[in-house]
Amino acid sequence: MKRRSFIQVSSLAGAGVAIPGIQAAQSRKATRKAPRSRLNVAILGSGLRGQSHIGLLLDRDDCDVIAIADPDQVMVDRTLQMFRKRGISAPRVYQDGDEDYLNLLDKEDLDLVIIASPWRWHTEMSIAALEKNCYVGVEVCGAFSIDECWELVRAQERSNTHLFFLENVCYRRDVMAILNMVRQGLFGELLHLEGGYQHDLRGVKFNDGPGGGSGVKFGDDAFSEAKWRTIHSVHRNGDLYPTHGIGPVAMYADINRKNRFTHLTSMASKARGLHNYIVDHPMGGENHPNADIEFKLGDLVTTMIRCNNGETVVLHHDTNLPRPYSLGFRVQGTKGLWMDVNKSLHIEGMSPPHRWEEAKPYLEKYDHPLWKRHANKAEGAGHGGMDWFLVNSLVEHAMRNERPPMDVYDAATWLAITPLSEASIAGGSMPVTFPDFTRGRWTTAANTFATSDAY
């Protein structure tokens, strides 16, 4: 008898109730809501992002990472070394091809599955894990189609558990301080928001990674995302990675919580950055084989979104050109605005007229209660500590099988920006309607993100 079934049957036996196996399975939804004291966890994809999650889980006393699935021997070896260094029993490894994760899901007794694989596997793996009634945490990306988004929603609705969309930027310290200010009305009524993914990824796309890289090839460096990420820039033209920008923006604007996105329009610039990088690189040149590739992804993709309650949103995708990293947040309301790029804000009645103020004193004053409470625990965690908050929230919600703060409807809505932007660009920047993945639930749902004391 598996551990999960034993917990269910034991609790019923303690109450003096005999129940057939089929009835026990049907009652799983209710019994799984009882808080657990420990979680059996599997990781699908043990690359650098998966290893980051594993490191945080191994630091906890309420999680056991019992299995991993990854066909990449280099990453499997690095992961197992993490266990050896901590003196923790190694997880069972499933690495017999890309689909060996299905055997993992069949054989292991799991409570939580974390998916940190290349983008193309996210939905497929999530659906398979949901069908096993495992709580799912899935990493971010952009969807390949609207049908894929609906498949994810329907799989979660058929299951007895939940999907947690792992957008870590929602927990960034300054982002959460601004959320606190938004909720306290310092910016007044929100009118316009901006965000994006503005990150020079030329080195990532061409193997200039931790392993030393091969300069302008893609696909032969075990440490580089180039072996799976670059191909998207060859074949697709749209906002390929919208969630870092749209996640915090959606929380500010209460998207899927008495507000929703109604339509978008996107446009893309010409594509020059990746070709120039190949030609100008010391290991490249005009005669390099990759110099002949016609990259479809425009160097700058701009997406404009309209919200049901009247707000406008602008997203930027910029990964092929030389630039400093920035997510480019802007939050503007009737009383003032914050801009991430210049680390400044202006609040009417508080700031000098027509003058910017440094944001730092405000961010410190309105530091979110969660950061005030747990900043010491997050010290040293990835991405400035926000990864600790993400994993902690995931574990806390999985313990109770509770609806997560970033659920399957958020996942579908945010992921949909990619295929919708592709369709808009292909149609001459025509407006494209957003599906309502909540099917009307947004009209009554409340925004509970970062309001619970449980995490």
Q: What is the DSSP string of 288-310?
A: SGGGG----S-SSEEEEEEETTS
Indicate the residue type of 113.
V
Give the Cα separation of 289 and 218 in Å (integer): 11
pLDDT at 209 over 50: no
Torsion of CA 365, 367, 373, 375, to 10 degrees: -110
Q: How many CB atoms lie within 10 A of CB 281?
A: 18
Give per-residue pLDDT as tens, 123-168.
Answer: 999 999 999 999 999 999 999 999 999 999 999 999 999 999 999 9
Task: Give the C-alpha distances (Å, rounded to integers) separating 247 from 125, 196, 251, 410, 454.
Answer: 22, 10, 6, 8, 21
- Supply the pLDDT for residue 99: 97
pTM of the model: 0.89
Q: How many CB atoms lie within 10 A of CB 455?
A: 18
Strand partners, 163: 136
In contact, 226 and 170? CB cutoff 8 Å: no
Residue with token string 């899927």: 256
Window from 172-176, 212-216, 227-231 with minimum mean pLDDT: 212-216
Helix (H) or strand (E) holding 339: strand 336-339
Task: Classify strands 63-69 and 163-165 as parallel, antiparallel or unpaired.
Answer: unpaired
pLDDT at 355 over 70: yes
Mean pLDDT for the stretch of residues 256-277:
97
Q: How many CB atoms lie within 10 A of CB 97?
A: 11
| DSSP codes joined into one string, 192-215 | EEEEEEE---HHHHTT-STT---S
Give per-residue pLDDT as tens, 304-329.
Answer: 999 999 999 999 999 999 999 999 99
pLDDT at 22 over 50: no
Full set of structural domains in the chain with CATH:
1-27 (no CATH), 172-368+408-443 (3.30.360.10)
With CA atoms as reference, report the closest residue to 187 among 385, 329, 64, 307: 329
Sheet with 135-138, strands from edge to edge, namely 92-94, 63-69, 39-44, 112-115, 135-138, 163-165
Give the Cα separation of 298 and 270 in Å (integer): 5
